[in-house]
Structure 1
């Protein structure tokens, strides 16, 4: 009799994935029901927990939820949570071109620590940025400290600064988003136009500690702007306005009343940009 030490490894991950996917929204074997807006989503605790640290904590570490068969989920729409559950069970998700719904899924992906899904959604959002949605996307990027998405929004806004300042969504920017944007010297638009629209923002939103209005660069305006427009707004005290006028007259008489230009892939060493050879 001949003995063989050979072993055979059988791999059938396709069927495994198919079997797990078949449990998506399946009431069979379900041991927890997620309630969203009075609608039910049937799920399985062990699958949710092993796929998401958030659900592991919610279902197994929270004494109030450990033995509950129904758990109410707030702060999310039914369709958004259903899409996330599909990703949990199948590893796939369909992301539409609707930015609002995509931002909701991004928020959940961040909250539930799905790093790969979060990265994929950010890549999907970047080419979809436009004047109608960039403020909402920027708010989300700042809320969750998504640096890649933040840089994409800032780059788009730098290239379209005047249009962004005058857009309807400008007043929808969060306090944090507004400050970070105005602190950028590459966010190029006439400072007086920036002030006018920041003043509108301040009427609608709470400018905590006046941090937003203080981002307006008074010394980059003209004396006429300060006397005719800024003074009457009463958003700055007289001493600050006088200091700005003194700086304008004494230091910046030859400079423009704007921030810096933002030029993408353009050679600055040309006559058009007043470049000249100084040696060599």
Structure 2
């Protein structure tokens, strides 16, 4: 049985950080006029942060290890935020009780830049479990921040779930057309997206047009090259549209004009489905969103047929 004395060890490492005599690294943090020079120790930084390890070793090679203090800059991090992160790096200590949520988010961004995986995971969980209301209130900032990184997966998941469950609220907070493709695709994959499928289709088209500002909104005027351009922009989105969930009226008026965006076989299958009430969806069609049907009682094909019968009654 081994005994661990982490408390004293942590305190001793904090004392090393505060000791101004034996440092061998200086770090310039922030941008004018808010800049501060921090003194630190290469061995500790290199073993705790892969980012700082690369930066410091690279600088050492440039200086040919000629005895000059290693120096690096972190212009994207505020000095007051780095002070907190540096204390974590040395002593594994982090207290968030008196920190405001916006600063905690800045800590997360700093930890991500410095490749501090443990801290990144902890801060994401802390924000989601303790500051969900604040995250929703500042959704545009949270969404933009999370999708600027490949490491903030939990925060990305939070954003996608919020958009799926509360699309009206989330779309009020951000410009839908500015969504990163990764975010849009994650949203379209969700079965619990609380939007009518025709609205999903219209939003996807609007997003595609925003990526191609030279293409006019009216598909009647599009050239073959413009259809190809839009198809390329939407190549990961189109397979996620639940076309079989649309009404016949919506398919005819709002999908058919864009038929050149769809794969030929898919369009032919859809056309046959909407023209022939006795036809069945293709085998690989996506079921309706939010639909929880017991396959032992109700077959999805029957649901689709009933939907078309209702369309026919409404049209008569």
TM range (shorter): 0.5 to 0.7
Give the aligned partner of residue 190 of structure 2: 184
1:192 Cα shift?
1.6
Task: Give a deviation string over 1:1-32, Cα, whole Å, max 9, x none.
Answer: xxxxxxxxxx9865553343245476544332
User: CA, structure 1 residues 16+237, in 2 after alignment: closer, same or farther (shift >3 Å)?
Assistant: closer
Q: Figure out how many residues of one structure are paired with residues of the other and give that number.
A: 256
Alignment of 1:202 with 2:208, yes or no, is yes
Q: Is the 8 A contact 1:198 1:213 kept in 2?
A: yes
Task: Give a deviation string over 1:161-190, Cα, whole Å, max 9, x none.
Answer: 454456535334211121122122332310
Match of 1:259 among 254, 273, 288: 288
Give the aligned partner of residue 121 of structure 2: 119
1:48 Cα shift?
1.5
- Measured in 2, the distance between the counterparts of 1:262 and 1:120 equals 35
* Unaligned runs of at least 5 residues, structure 2: 213-229, 282-286, 299-316
Q: Is the 8 A contact 1:223 1:248 kept in 2?
A: yes
Give the aligned partner of residue 73 of structure 1: 74
Task: Give a deviation string over 1:45-96, Cα, whole Å, max 9, x none.
Answer: 2331232233223223552376554312244444443332232134223444
Alignment of 1:57 with 2:54, yes or no, is yes
Give the aligned partner of residue 305 of structure 2: none
Q: Is the 8 A contact 1:17 1:90 kept in 2?
A: yes
Q: Is the 8 A contact 2:125 2:154 kept in 1?
A: no
Q: Is the 8 A contact 1:54 1:113 kept in 2?
A: yes
- Measured in 1, the distance between the counterparts of 2:146 and 2:117 equals 16
CA RMSD for the aligned pairs? 4.4
Alignment of 1:247 with 2:270, yes or no, is no
Give the aligned partner of residue 93 of structure 1: 94
TM-score by length of structure 2 reads: 0.61
- Measured in 2, the distance between the counterparts of 1:182 and 1:27 equals 54
SS of equivalent to 1:81: helix
Write out aligned runs for 1:120-269 (5 A): 120-127=122-129, 128=132, 129-130=135-136, 132-133=138-139, 136-137=142-143, 140=146, 143-145=149-151, 147-161=153-167, 163-164=169-170, 167-205=173-211, 209-214=233-238, 215-230=240-255, 237=261, 243=268, 244-250=270-276, 259-261=288-290
1:107 Cα shift?
3.9
1:123 Cα shift?
1.4
- Measured in 2, the distance between the counterparts of 1:42 and 1:186 equals 48
Greater share of residues in helix: 2
User: CA, structure 1 residues 174+184, in 2 after alignment: closer, same or farther (shift >3 Å)?
Assistant: same
Alignment of 1:34 with 2:59, yes or no, is no
Give the aligned partner of residue 8 of structure 1: none
* Unaligned runs of at least 5 residues, structure 1: 1-10, 275-280
Mean CA deviation greater in 180-189 or 64-73 = 64-73
Mean CA deviation greater in 134-143 or 33-42 = 134-143
SS of equivalent to 2:183: helix
Give the aligned partner of residue 226 of structure 2: none
- Measured in 2, the distance between the counterparts of 1:196 and 1:81 equals 44
